[in-house]
Amino acid sequence: MYHINFNKPCNVHFIGIGGISMSGLAKLLLSRGFRVSGSDNKESELTKELEMEGCRIFYSQTADNISDELDLIVYTAAIHEDNPELVAARASKAVTITRAELLGQVMSNYHTAINVAGTHGKTTTSSMISEILLEAQKDPTISLGGILDSIGGNFRVGHSDIFLTEACEYTNSFLSFNPTVNVILNVKEDHLDFFKDINDIRHSFKLFTEKLPQAGTLIINSDIDDIEYFYRDAACQNVITVGSDPEKSVYSACDITYNSLGLPSYTLIKNKKKIGTLSLGVPGLHNVYNSLAAIACGELLNIPFETIASALLHFKGTRRRFEYKGVLMPNNTTIIDDYAHHPDEITATLKSAANYPHNRIWCVFQPHTYTRTKAFLDDFAKALCLSDIVVLADIYAARETDTLGISSQTLRDKIISLGGTCYYFKSFEEIQNFIKTNCINNDLLITMGAGNVVEIGENLLK
């Protein structure tokens, strides 16, 4: 079976090449001399860029796109089993693999493959590490789950032996990876449409840790319950802990303060000794702990503390992570957008907002998937009550259909039962009209969720 080898480029075809991760991998292989083709349903800026770099793209997915010259065919989880191109691919002489399997094969070609995992914080922490590597001129190859302005997107093709990526647990995709450094930020309940329960999730992260070689390194949050469970059977010998308790953590923080925009500064503790002071360019206590994991990774790669501190100060976040969108006039309302779609993430974001200038905090929340909304209904209601006023949009179904008898109206009733102020509207237009009339006088408006709720703030600002 063919495995990706940068010294032996071949003919690779991507089914669904226009996806943000697939297009990045296609660019990487093009830069390494591979002959790349692909298909997608429609033209986009990403596919145009690929065509300019020499990639042949078909804007349909038919069996005719699969030629005898292909050696490797890559497809995404979004491609259905009866897709005619995938059916033809499996009938061909070429090897067919998933995007996750390709990513795992790609990182095998790097001396250092850093995988950032966890229920929350993957994109922000990966981006912090990215900024540190760039500031240190390490020239890494980077694959992120969000848009980082420093690299002009979510993928950067570097020329060093360092590869950095997010590692998502959903459908156990990170078990296809081949890391040398694993970062585990937290292990919480999520994706219960795939996992049975928290024990099933913990088992998946344990298997992920066991992917590390003996010479590998695990960076793990010491606040996770029974952290030894994850590495006691692993070959990896080097474990670095980060967290809130300096007695249990190699890296911790104390003397945490916030400026007028809610941006934290703190004293770094390493092995129970104060090392120096850092200031972050992103708000929230949760980002203090994200930064500890990034610092541990930077120092593992022998990057000086001063370089790490400078990078963290200059890091302003990725898109859709407490992202400033603008001020709505004449209401004088600041609009922030955030990707939070899990109760823990909502809690962290709204606690960050409490340190940001505001009169009242409004949260326009779009629940993401029926499964998650039903599983965490009580936790969602409790978290959202941290804002002064909640406005709910309809559930963003994503990959699901409504078979669970759950709705945003159910969540509204729960929030009101807890004493919260909550409104629910079926359309974005109704929400926008309500906001324009009622959100005024230095109020802070946060559009929140993993769907298309960001459009509400953008439409208002237009």
**Strand 141-148 with 162-166, pairing:** parallel
| Cα gap 155→385, rounded to integer Å | 36
DSSP-assigned states of every residue in 271-333: TTEEEEEEE-SS-SHHHHHHHHHHHHHHHHTT--HHHHHHHHHH----TTSSEEEEEETTTTE
Residue written as token pair 């292990």 = 187
Whole-number pLDDT of residue 58? 95
Read off the tokens for 262: 């809610």
DSSP-assigned states of every residue in 59-121: SS--GGG--TT-SEEEE-TTS-TT-HHHHHHHHSSSEEEEHHHHHHHHHTTSSEEEEEE-SS-
Cα-flanking dihedrals φ and ψ of residue 124, to 5°? Answer: -65, -45
State the maximum Cα–Cα separation within the chain, in Å, rounded to a whole number. 65
Read off the tokens for 185: 């930020």
* 359 contacts 441 by C-beta, under 8 angstroms: yes
Read off the tokens for 274: 């104060």
- Active-site residue list: 122-123, 166
Read off the tokens for 248: 């249990």
- Which H or E run includes 408? helix 408-417
Residue 12: CB atoms within 10 Å: 26
* 63 contacts 80 by C-beta, under 8 angstroms: no
* 278 contacts 298 by C-beta, under 8 angstroms: no
In angstroms, the Cα distances linking 299 to 239, 250, 304 are 14, 12, 7
Whole-number pLDDT of residue 262? 83
Whole-number pLDDT of residue 352? 85
Residue 433: CB atoms within 10 Å: 13
Cβ neighbors of 433 (< 8 A, separation 6 or more) are none
**Strand 112-117 with 72-75, pairing:** unpaired
Exposed / middle / buried, residue 272 (Cβ in 10 Å: 0-12, 13-18, 19+): exposed
| Cα gap 313→184, rounded to integer Å | 23
Query: Residue 171 carries which DSSP code?
Result: G
Residue 301: CB atoms within 10 Å: 17
Whole-number pLDDT of residue 356? 86
3-state secondary structure (DSSP) of residue 362: strand
* 125 contacts 311 by C-beta, under 8 angstroms: no
Whole-number pLDDT of residue 1? 66
Read off the tokens for 58: 């078909």
Q: Report pTM.
A: 0.85
| Cα gap 413→113, rounded to integer Å | 47
* 337 contacts 320 by C-beta, under 8 angstroms: yes
Read off the tokens for 220: 């793990």
pLDDT tens-place values along the chain, 462 residues long: 678 999 999 999 999 999 888 999 999 999 999 999 999 989 988 899 999 999 999 999 999 999 999 999 999 877 889 999 999 999 998 999 999 999 999 999 999 999 999 988 899 999 999 999 999 999 999 998 888 888 988 889 999 999 999 998 888 889 999 999 999 999 998 887 888 899 999 999 999 999 999 999 999 999 999 999 999 999 998 999 999 999 999 999 999 999 988 899 999 999 999 999 999 999 889 899 999 999 999 999 999 999 999 999 999 887 888 888 999 999 899 999 998 888 988 998 998 888 888 999 999 999 999 999 999 999 999 999 999 999 999 999 887 777 778 999 999 999 999 999 999 999 999 999 999 999 998 999 999 998 899 999 999 998
Sign of CA dihedral 315, 269, 208, 9: positive
Residue written as token pair 């939070």 = 340
| Cα gap 285→318, rounded to integer Å | 17
Cβ neighbors of 264 (< 8 A, separation 6 or more) are 256, 257, 258, 279, 280, 283, 284, 285, 287, 288
* 228 contacts 202 by C-beta, under 8 angstroms: no
**Strand 264-270 with 251-258, pairing:** antiparallel
| Cα gap 38→114, rounded to integer Å | 28
Read off the tokens for 191: 């994706």
| Cα gap 412→416, rounded to integer Å | 6
Query: Residue 396 carries which DSSP code?
Result: B
| Cα gap 456→384, rounded to integer Å | 18
* 141 contacts 157 by C-beta, under 8 angstroms: yes
